[in-house]
């Protein structure tokens, strides 16, 4: 019986090793490494690191194409609270005196969600969270169809039904934040609390950078003219710019706004969805503009 027990345990161990081996050969595993490349490559000499949510992931997705020594640490549906967690965990990956870009837009200041907290703490530790092993091992049997070339692979190069996509995006925001529209300043008590909370977190992110000899730069990535037209300037001033300006004045940090007077990014053709997430061409245009501005204002050459 003892021999049978040892044999059974040996077979379980052997099967686990075999599944791990074949799992790491799947397209799905390869694609995970594409999506979270900066998190898992263990590079420690980035000249620039960006935080941010979905829009930032696409805006900063062409570092390698442009030979920029940067790490894209943006994640889908990311809150400022989780941005802070990412910074605290990965600031060691930026060389001393390096730049940390903090992308901030209107929807982020109204967003209070910590769903990515567990992901930040676990998925990049062993690449496979223990609790998700069974689900992920299914990919050994039913794999992704192909390997991604980059984060844009699989997304449309440009938007066809732009208005309907932007309508859907606006509807999601209105429902998520409990708003009637994006023009009238009719904020709920919860909206006001969230803005105040996120302002404090944004300030803490800036302080963390300064305390570790890093240069924080607050950036508003571009939206298309069609998406920008859905917001009133008064609404953006109250929700977004008031908080940013307070922090910029207090800490004397650089703020680069690519949502005002930026004709380069007005057309929907540089976005995958008509105005929120830049496509590959749009990302290259944006990063070239950003690098030139960083060189102009900070005297920093971020290229490899």
> Counting runs of H as helices and runs of E as strands, what totals does the chain give?
14, 5
What pTM, to 2 d.p., does this model score?
0.88
Reduced DSSP (H G I as helix, E B as strand, rest coil) percent helix, strand, coil of the chain, to 5 = 55, 10, 35
Condensed to tens digits (0 to 9), the pLDDT of residues 113-133 reads 877 766 666 655 544 555 556
Start-to-end Cα distance in the chain: 62
State the CATH class of domain 2-298. alpha beta
Condensed to tens digits (0 to 9), the pLDDT of residues 84-113 reads 999 999 999 999 999 999 999 999 999 998
183: closest CA among 193, 174, 192, 194? 174
Condensed to tens digits (0 to 9), the pLDDT of residues 244-254 reads 999 999 999 99
pLDDT the model gives residue 138? 73
Helix axes 116-126, 80-90, angle to 10 degrees: 30
Domain ranges of the chain: 2-298
The torsion defined by the Cα of 51, 286, 260 and 174, in degrees rounded to 10, comes to: -50
Could you tell me the CA-to-CA distances from 77 to 74, 111, 161 in Å, in that order? 9, 9, 23
Which are the contacts of 79, defined by CB distance < 8 A and separation ≥ 6?
53, 108, 111, 112, 113, 114, 116, 198
Q: Which residues pair with 271 in a beta bridge?
A: 278
Q: What tokens appear for 237 in the block?
A: 């001033």
pLDDT the model gives residue 16? 64
pLDDT > 70 fraction of the chain, expressed in percent and rounded? 83
251: closest CA among 218, 290, 219, 220? 218
| Gap between the Cα atoms of 35 and 74, Å rounded | 10
- Per-residue pLDDT, averaged over 269-276, amounts to 94
213: closest CA among 96, 299, 44? 96
| Gap between the Cα atoms of 215 and 213, Å rounded | 7
| Gap between the Cα atoms of 294 and 32, Å rounded | 31
Condensed to tens digits (0 to 9), the pLDDT of residues 199-210 reads 999 999 999 999
Q: What tokens appear for 123 in the block?
A: 């998925």
Beta strands, E only, 173-229: 215-220
- 154 DSSP 8-state letter: T
Look-up of token digits 């069609």: 226
């Amino acid at each position: 019986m003892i021999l049978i027990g040892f044999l059974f345990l040996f077979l379980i161990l052997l099967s686990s090793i075999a599944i791990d081996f074949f799992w790491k050969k799947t397209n799905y595993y390869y694609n995970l490494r594409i999506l979270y490349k900066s998190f898992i490559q263990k590079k420690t000499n980035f000249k620039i690191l960006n935080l941010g949510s979905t829009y930032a992931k696409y805006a900063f997705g062409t570092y390698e194409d442009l030979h920029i020594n940067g790490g894209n640490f943006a994640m889908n549906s990311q809150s400022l609270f989780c941005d802070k967690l990412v910074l605290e965990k990965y600031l060691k990956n930026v060389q001393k005196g390096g730049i940390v870009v903090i992308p901030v837009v209107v929807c982020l200041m109204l967003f209070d969600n910590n769903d990515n907290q567990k992901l930040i703490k676990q998925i990049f530790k062993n690449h496979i969270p223990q609790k998700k092993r069974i689900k992920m091992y299914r990919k050994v049997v039913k794999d992704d169809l192909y390997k991604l070339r980059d984060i844009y692979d699989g997304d449309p190069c440009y938007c066809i039904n732009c208005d309907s996509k932007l309508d859907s995006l606006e509807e999601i925001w209105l429902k998520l934040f409990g708003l009637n529209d994006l023009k009238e300043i009719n904020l709920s008590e919860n909206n006001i609390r969230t803005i105040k909370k996120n302002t404090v977190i944004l300030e803490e992110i800036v302080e963390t950078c300064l305390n570790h000899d890093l240069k924080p730069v607050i950036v508003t990535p571009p939206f298309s003219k069609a998406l920008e037209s859905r917001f009133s300037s008064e609404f953006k001033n109250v929700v977004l710019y008031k908080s940013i300006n307070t922090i910029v004045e207090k800490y004397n940090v650089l703020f680069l706004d690519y949502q005002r007077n930026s004709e380069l990014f007005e057309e929907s053709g540089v976005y995958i969805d008509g105005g929120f997430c830049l496509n590959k061409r749009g990302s290259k245009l944006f990063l070239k503009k950003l690098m030139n501005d960083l060189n102009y204002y900070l005297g920093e050459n971020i290229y490899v």
